[in-house]
A and B are shown apart, each in its own frame.
Chain A
Amino acid sequence: MFSAGVRAILRLEWERFRHSLGWLGRSDRRFRAPTLEKNRRRSGLFVVLGLMFLVQSFLMTQMMIETYAERVLAHEEGVVGNLTFERVVESAPKWEGQSDEEVRKGIKSYLGFSEYERERMGLDKLEVDGVLAQFRENGIAGFRNYERLANGEITLRELEGGPRERFARLMGMIFIGLLLALLFMPMAIRQKNLAATSDHQEWLFTLPLRGGELLVGSFIASVLIRPLAYLFLWPLLTNLLIASGDGVLFSGCFALGVTLLVSVAVSGVEVFLDTWMRARAPRWILRNAQMVFSLFGLLSFYAILAACFAREGSFPWVDWLAVRVPGELGRPWGEVLISPLGVWVSAALVGAVILGFGGCFLAGKFMRSGWLSGNGLQTEERGVKEASLRGGSLLRFEALLLLRDRTLAVQVILVPLLIVGYQVLANPAMVQSVTAAGVCALAFAGGAYASLVTAPQLLRSEAKGGWMIYNLPVPVAAYFKRREGLWRMVATSLAAGVLVLMVGFSGIFQFAELWRYLAAILGVWVLGRVMSGVVMGRPKLPDAASGEAVTVSSGRMYAAMLMAGVFGAILWQGWVWPTVSALVIFWFLGEAIWQRREVSFSYLMEPVEEEPESWGVDDGLWAVMVFFVVQSLMVFFGVLGWAMSQGLVLLSFVGGGVAAWLFTRLLVRRKKIALPDFSDGVLGIAKRRVVMETALWTVLCVLVGVGWTCFLETGVFGEIGRGALEWNPLLLILLTVVAAPIFEELLFRGFMCRTMGAFWSRRGAIFGSALVFAVVHPAIAFVPVFLLGVGTAVLYLRSQSVVPGMVLHALYNLGIVGLTWYG
């Protein structure tokens, strides 16, 4: 069908696309060139993820269309919700002879059912009197169900008058937003460096291809490889057709055809823009192209999301736009979308022919005048900028990179500020009703987003100049750490800025929530270190000298997002002690991960050799995190299912312990950690000295624990301790004297203290593990638990066995439980 040249370009573009999505074409570490074999294996995952996304899109767009259609239908008079409608039909015959008072009573009870639905749809509250008046005026014929579309009583094409116009406007606006996203997202994401001639293009030009082949190849690739079109436009159009009354299979195929036509039109515009910019565009456009595309793409995508999910009222601009701009611009598009099929086909065809082929024709013209002439970094005239010295520094160097790399600046600073700023300016009602929790969560989210975006930057901007760092008289790890600190400062400042902005505009500052404001900012600072460490991970530096882009594994990105999400949720809930605990654990984790990174830096320049399997302090901390995450999840889902019970607490504790223990086994096996097995060293207990010391520590810890409990007149176990008298004694003993010592000793001493001891000083390992141990317990018991942590850690390091610690831990817990019972 196509010439060999076109086929080769299609293949090439497809491979590039696969590689651009980390999880598809992961390159083999041993070779710089990606190997085909690996790609094939990864494609399975790609298909599964793609299908999942497609199903999700189908459900989402279906929900969206129904909600919109029902909402516009509900604006008619006399329309009630499904349940109300059914009850009215059922009871209306009885109402005929009843007094207004009696009917009001009946209506009131029905309206209760539909209020939630109405609220979900963003509709006004139904007034009892209004419904009554409707009934008295028109009888049962005065009512209609607004879920007529979902019930199949009406199709989109049958919408008339006001509802039709309103629906058309909204659909038209979403459609236009989607077209913009379709065009600009790939141009912004594809790492097209329009500012400098890409090697890729130059290389293509050296091949014996005709210009036409090059153009056709790029055009077809651009039409076919447009994931957004298949993952969003196609489901949307299919659902529109189904809602218009067409069959499912027909709708799917027809919508696919139209999607392809739309893709042709969009690709034509893209190929034209691309070629025009390379050949003719003024410098300022070239220099800022990627930034502008990024801005358009992100904002239009955000607008679609907001339009799809926002309830009426919460995003006033959706309504504002729906009434004004799309009234002129969106309605014709929307009208086409809900009109008969012939109009669809003609519109798509006309668009495809004019935009697609017209764009290609113009691109061809520009190409003949020199595709490769664009070079946006160039100053107006060579050397015109005076070469003057102003005393550089690392800070200035980074600031320059941030300011000059405008795409990054837009993504890191401008878009979050625009989104928040828009809310502040356009939606004052929301800002004024915002709570401290909301402000903090928003500030943290902004900061965490910025650290996630900037973390790969640490390596990416280095890729070309990496060799320079190795020629500087500074340790490479220290250099990266310093840069990391600077980027983290940007993210933290952003969080602080959002906080000040929101608090300033809402005028709500709650002094009691001061800790939460601080925790939000501190959270970005502390978590930023963990995230940059996780994201950098074991970076694959393709070739430091060639200036190829660095890829960061997307799995690591997701892990970092998950961690930020967990911390954000804790902050949102306003749990003080868990927030403090999370900050301490994350701080340790950041330290530990960066300690490990120092090893990988030595191997950065040597991508052909794999970084040696290594383990570090962070492994112990990961185990502790698994313990608590599993525990919290079990409690969370358990409470959803059965309500909080003593059995559930015990179960979640044991579950968390088993999960963390299995996790450590996995780590030990996978990383080949040369550690003695947990059961080793048990014989150490036979040593008389250890027995002596265990006894001494037990006396000390129990005395302090008992003293502390008496002094504060509260249980050291917090809530559990306070309610200990109501607990089943057997369960309490099982939890505190059996399960807790076994699992906590294995984790905190057997793994965490051990890993800390191997990398840090003895004192660091003892106090570090005791601190983490203490912060994950109730705040009130900090002092005695910290002492217990120190005691067990000392015993562990002396005996190299967890058994003495288990005995001490069990006796201590028994003492406290006994005191609660008999004290």
Chain B
Amino acid sequence: MTFDSSVLCLENVSRSFGNFCAVDRLSFELGAGEIMGLLGPNGAGKTTTVRMLMGMMRQSSGELSLFGMDCFSERSEVQKRVGYLPDEPNFQNHLRGIELLEFVGKVRGLSPEVIEGHVEKVGGKLGLVEDLGEFAANYSKGMRKKLAFLMATLHEPDLLIMDEPTNGLDPVATRSFLEVVRTYVEKGTGVLYSTHLLDQAERICDRCVVMNRGKLVGEGTVDFLKKEAGVESLEEVFFALTGEGEVGDV
């Protein structure tokens, strides 16, 4: 299934560390306005894939491109249109939340009014505005996630790459966060959503890619995957594809 307006494209991407192959001939695509879940057990190669997409790491072979540009060599050009939310965002010890936002906005060439508007709109929904005067080092995990999300969406990106985005958020924040993500999708932003939370993935993802030991073991809409595996829920699909279901015997 190919989208005409593909924003993210992986072709036979592999990445090894010494003899260990973290990602093995991975291929998939993501279109504009689509939410794709990237699923897989621990050590499946999800974070490595995300890091390669962010140009932090070079692939051993294959091709990765965002908006038709190479992720590694054209990283700075690509990053103009990408927002990234890492699993564990950490910040400098000596800067306040608002100062970090100012800094990122300034580097991205945004005016103070734009930053302020964004903080009010998105920060207000997530409930972070009153904490922005605090040193980011003192933030709780959830607050750090929110701040990083504000940073990632500051420039209205065409693609959002998120690693376990709701990890650390409370249920209320999770709900408003997912609402915000949906508004971005409606505006045509593509979202790559790496997660372990299968019910959440089932609820919001248009399509899913399931990885296991660096390999792609399943791809398609949630319904398609369920039908293919002949099961009722995405959770069972996951167990069927990754062979992790036998844990119950222990």
Contact = CB atoms under 8 A, between A and B. Distances in A.
A472 B108 contact: yes
Interface size class of B (residues with CB under 8 A): 35 or more
Contact of B56 (A390, A472, A605, A608): A605
A478 to B, nearest CB: 8
B135 A467 contact: no
Contacts of A195: 93
B156 interface: no
A480 to B, nearest CB: 13
A402 to B, nearest CB: 9
B105 A392 contact: yes
A284 interface: no
Interface string A535-561: 000000000011100000000000000
Interface in B49-93: 51, 54-58, 72, 75-77, 79-80, 82-84, 86-93
A608 B93 contact: no
A606 B18 CA distance: 13
B200 interface: no
A392 B134 contact: no
Interface string B86-107: 1111111111111110111111
Nearest to A470: B56
A196 B104 CA distance: 24
Contact of A473 (B72, B107, B134, B151): B107
A196 B58 contact: no
Given A383-B131, A470-B55, A606-B57, A405 B112 contact: no
A6 to B, nearest CB: 32
Contacts, number: 139
Contact of B138 (A30, A378, A465): A378
A305 to B, nearest CB: 31
Interface string B108-143: 100010011001000000000111111101100000
Contacts of A379: 133-135
A602 interface: yes
A387 B124 CA distance: 13
A377 B135 contact: yes
Nearest to A195: B93
B86 to A, nearest CB: 5
B17 interface: yes
B107 A401 contact: no
Nearest to B115: A389
A668 to B, nearest CB: 27
A397 B99 contact: yes
B59 to A, nearest CB: 12
A18 interface: no
A464 B138 contact: no
Contacts of B13: none
Given A389-B98, A547-B90, 18 more contacts: A375-B138, A378-B134, A378-B138, A385-B133, A392-B99, A392-B106, A400-B94, A461-B92, A461-B94, A462-B92, A465-B100, A470-B75, A470-B79, A471-B79, A471-B83, A471-B152, A473-B79, A605-B56
Nearest first, the 5 A-B pairs at minimum CB distance are A392-B102, A404-B94, A385-B133, A387-B132, A605-B56
17 contacts: A375-B138, A377-B138, A379-B133, A383-B133, A386-B133, A392-B103, A392-B105, A393-B103, A394-B103, A400-B99, A401-B92, A464-B137, A470-B75, A471-B54, A471-B151, A546-B88, A605-B51
